[in-house]
Amino acid sequence: MAKAKARAGADGAAISTTYNEPQGSGGETHQTTNRPEETLTTQQGIPVADDQNTLRAGARGPALMEDFHFREKIFHFDHERIPERVVHARGYGAHGYFQVTDPLSDVTRADVFQRKGEKTPAFVRFSTVAGSKGSFDLARDVRGFAVKIYTQEGNWDLVGNNIPVFFIQDAIKFPDLIHAVKPEPDRGFPQAQSAHTNFWDFISLTPESMHMIMWVMSDRAIPRSLRFMEGFGVHTFRFLDKKDRSTFVKFHWKPKLGMQSVVWNEAVKINGADPDYHRRDLWDAVTTGNFPEWELGVQLFDQKFADKFDFDILDPTKLIPEEILPVRIVGRLVLDRMVDNFFAETEQVAFCTQNVPPGIDFSNDPLLQGRNFSYLDTQIKRLGGPNFTHIPINAPKCPFAHFQQDGHMAMRNPVGRVNYEPNSWGADGGPRENPQTGTRSFAETDMGQKVRARSETFADHYSQARQFFISQAPNEQKHLADALIFELSKVERPDIRARMVSHLLNIHDDLASAVADGLGLAMPKPAKAARPTLTTLPPSDALSILKNGPESFKGRKVGIFATDGADAALYSGLISALQKEGATFEVIAPRISGVTLSDGTKVEAQQKIDGGPSVLYDAVVLLMSEEGAETVKSHGPARDFVCDAYAHCKFIGFTPAAGILFDACALGDKIDGGFIPLKGKQDPGAFVGAARALRFWAREPLTKAKDDPQPGEGKQGKAKQGKRPPKSGSK
């Protein structure tokens, strides 16, 4: 009979926690107490001395294969879920091509970067991280931005995110991070959200996550569209030229249509109105010929720059500001074809960070080193065995030859007698290695001791978090503070909330004050910092969405709420202005059958007002007759359409009769510069011109009542900050 003993919890209550020990001689399964002082072990019972760092050759050296604890931990984590991915389960993909616009033959021998204008097939999968396959698109989450480029020298998988940094510095902590953010194991919720106790408990105990938290609590984590977000390779890689000389490189994808996000209240309502919002948007854009496009940019630097930079270029929680190291645009990515079958392509596509062609190499970034192991292991588990490259979406499009054979679902095997190398069969003996064209690694010298340690150069966890916050526009700072207040309000334990605010004090005292006041917390002491926060880092405008808004309304969508009797000339002029701008539109009507305009023209509706709320559109137009406005003024969804558009700072075009609906929504005295009257033939163009700004941000209050202060209103003392001693070789 299994037995369990009880221990006292922190509050004195008895907590019974057990685990199985090896069977005794009598076959009985014994169970013992899980005491606070209990030692962590491997699954084989071997005590673990360090669960925070991968074994590596020196504090900044490469990870070592002999690290059995790391391999067991990642291996078990990779195999937790079938058949969907453990992370990035909800994804959407499309085919396209990568085209070089500025060859890089001066720094890399990678064939894909050699010839200007050459197009190389590509497949891109976008995804959320935390949710399951059935979750909604607009969760507050990191977005995966994974690109498979089928080069003439094999597949190159640039497996990145829409955020340039990450939560953790060492891959050994990845299972802990994902376990913390996933549904809590005893209750199976919450789904696809980080607003719960386990996540913030982990984050508040992990100072290295603070920079990433600034990004995830910002509007970057709720993008308006997959087409309107940046992508990043996250890690530092290496380019190798023909003589194997190294240049460090960071990869950036920049959307041609510019960046754009939604606001939180809008995201919540979009998830209810259309949980497939991002999928539908990408499908509509590609299938209508409005092909999404990104520019590929690179930040190139040498060891001298790396030595002088304020932070360690191997630290995946850090970035290099574009003002310090400009991004060089070298290519373009265009998505021009949707998949033929979602499962066969989007669901079965297998990305591996280890897939790099000759001329691209890895750095010793400890997170990247771990990913190179984990991704291959994950794909083997998900897709049934080592032959996942036999699936067409994963197969290279260049010639390939090897001796790997058999295994589950093998579709190809070596032909003939020889399945080994070296062999004595000459030309009939199959492929041979090629030192001239084959992939080679940078001959870096690493002579460090075998240690489980984190380099001291990784120790600053707050300075770039502060830089990100001060780089945001005032509205973005408000949204960030509001997001933290919302998320932490879902945390059950006040001590975890307070611990998180103690970290915010090391980032910016206005932010900490706003969050503490929003939660009703007494201001705690600043968290102990391994290194003091650098307050000398200047703002970087490249980190702000609003400071990098688009110059046109191209690629956006207008919702036209129309009624019978609406002015036909204004409708025609509006459609013409939108088409000239490269924008799209949908007509929303009281009935799905559509409306009849003033000249008798019948216009079909794409949405009935109940199913076409204003949150689905970037700007709205109220094209109404007086009779039509009187008809809809008492209809709840019609009022919500207008009230939400106003609350979300959208530009609102309107005919005079819409004033009836404004009065019904109590907006009659709130008409501002975001309302564009439509009376004459020039007005539709004026509306489109105004909408290029995307939102009328002056409508959003940056300050509220005294019990809900915003950043800049804090009255607490300054966080303890100071200057760090310069790195060796820095100015």
The CATH number given to whatever domain includes residue 99 is 2.40.180.10
On whether both 166 and 246 belong to a single domain, the answer is yes
Measure the CA angle with vertex 251, ends 106 and 258; round to 5°.
Answer: 120
CA distance 470 to 462: 12
Rounded average pLDDT over 123-150 = 97
Rounded average pLDDT over 49-54 = 88
Residue 9 confidence class, pLDDT cut points 50, 70, 90: very low
Q: Tell me the residue length of the chain.
A: 731
Q: How high is the pLDDT of residue 444?
A: 86
The CATH number given to whatever domain includes residue 501 is 1.20.1370.20
Q: Residue 358 corresponds to which tokens in the numbers above?
A: 């000759």
Q: How high is the pLDDT of residue 428?
A: 87
The pLDDT of residue 223 is above 50: yes
Full 3-state SS string of 468-515: HHHHCCHHHHHHHHHHHHHHHHCCCCHHHHHHHHHHHCCCCHHHHHHH
On whether both 504 and 639 belong to a single domain, the answer is no
Helices (H), 61-193: 68-78, 174-181
The residues that bridge with 127 in the sheet, in sequence order, are 91, 144
Query: Is position 274 within any domain?
Result: yes
Catalytic hit among 53, 155, 161, 355? 161
Query: Where are the strands (E) in 539-613, listed by range?
Result: 557-562, 584-589, 595-596, 602-603, 607-608
On whether both 514 and 557 belong to a single domain, the answer is no
The pLDDT of residue 393 is above 70: yes
Q: Which domain holds residue 133?
A: 68-394
> Is there a contact between 124 and 146 (Cβ–Cβ < 8 Å)?
yes
Query: Is position 622 within any domain?
Result: yes
Between 185-199, 563-577, 675-689, 690-704, the lowest mean confidence (pLDDT) is in 690-704
Q: Residue 116 corresponds to which tokens in the numbers above?
A: 């200007």
Q: Of 494, 523, 546, which marks where a domain is finished?
A: 546
On whether both 536 and 586 belong to a single domain, the answer is no
CB within 8 Å of 201: residues ≥ 6 apart:
180, 491, 493, 496
On whether both 95 and 190 belong to a single domain, the answer is yes
Catalytic hit among 69, 88, 196, 252? 88
Residue 351 confidence class, pLDDT cut points 50, 70, 90: very high
The pLDDT of residue 591 is above 90: yes
Query: Is position 107 within any domain?
Result: yes
- Residue % of the chain over a pLDDT of 90: 76
Query: Is position 38 within any domain?
Result: no
On whether both 263 and 143 belong to a single domain, the answer is yes
> Is there a contact between 581 and 552 (Cβ–Cβ < 8 Å)?
yes
On whether both 496 and 640 belong to a single domain, the answer is no
Could you give the 3-state DSSP secondary structure of residue 5?
Answer: coil
Query: Is position 121 within any domain?
Result: yes
Give the burial string for 52-73 (b: 16+ CB within 10 Å, else e): ebbbbbebbbbbeeebebbbeb
Q: How high is the pLDDT of residue 353?
A: 95
The pLDDT of residue 447 is above 80: no
Query: pLDDT tens, 604-637?
Result: 999 999 999 999 999 999 999 999 999 999 999 9
Active site residue 434: no
On whether both 541 and 562 belong to a single domain, the answer is no
CA distance 609 to 632: 10
Rounded average pLDDT over 538-565 = 97
Query: pLDDT tens, 666-675?
Result: 998 999 999 9
Indicate the pairing of strand 91-100 with strand 328-338. Answer: antiparallel
On whether both 188 and 336 belong to a single domain, the answer is yes
The pLDDT of residue 82 is above 80: no
Q: How high is the pLDDT of residue 703?
A: 53
What is the pTM for the complete model shown?
A: 0.87
Query: Is position 7 within any domain?
Result: no
* Cβ-based burial of 532 (10 A; exposed 0-12, middle 13-18, buried ≥19): middle
The pLDDT of residue 728 is above 50: no
Query: Is position 166 within any domain?
Result: yes
* Cβ-based burial of 478 (10 A; exposed 0-12, middle 13-18, buried ≥19): buried
Q: Report the domain count for the chain.
A: 3
CA distance 653 to 662: 12
On whether both 491 and 564 belong to a single domain, the answer is no
Q: Of 546, 567, 586, which marks where a domain is finished?
A: 546
Q: How high is the pLDDT of residue 36?
A: 54
In the β-sheet with 675-677, what is the strand arrangement from edge to edge?
607-608, 584-589, 557-562, 619-623, 652-654, 675-677
On whether both 278 and 139 belong to a single domain, the answer is yes
Between 61-70, 366-375, 621-630, the lowest mean confidence (pLDDT) is in 61-70
Active site residue 88: yes
Query: pLDDT tens, 454-513?
Result: 999 999 999 999 999 999 999 999 999 999 999 999 999 999 999 999 999 999 999 999
The CATH number given to whatever domain includes residue 632 is 3.40.50.880
Q: Of 360, 394, 428, which marks where a domain is finished?
A: 394
Residue 37 confidence class, pLDDT cut points 50, 70, 90: low
On whether both 511 and 609 belong to a single domain, the answer is no
The pLDDT of residue 19 is above 60: no
Q: How high is the pLDDT of residue 508?
A: 98
Q: How high is the pLDDT of residue 708?
A: 39
Query: Is position 461 within any domain?
Result: no
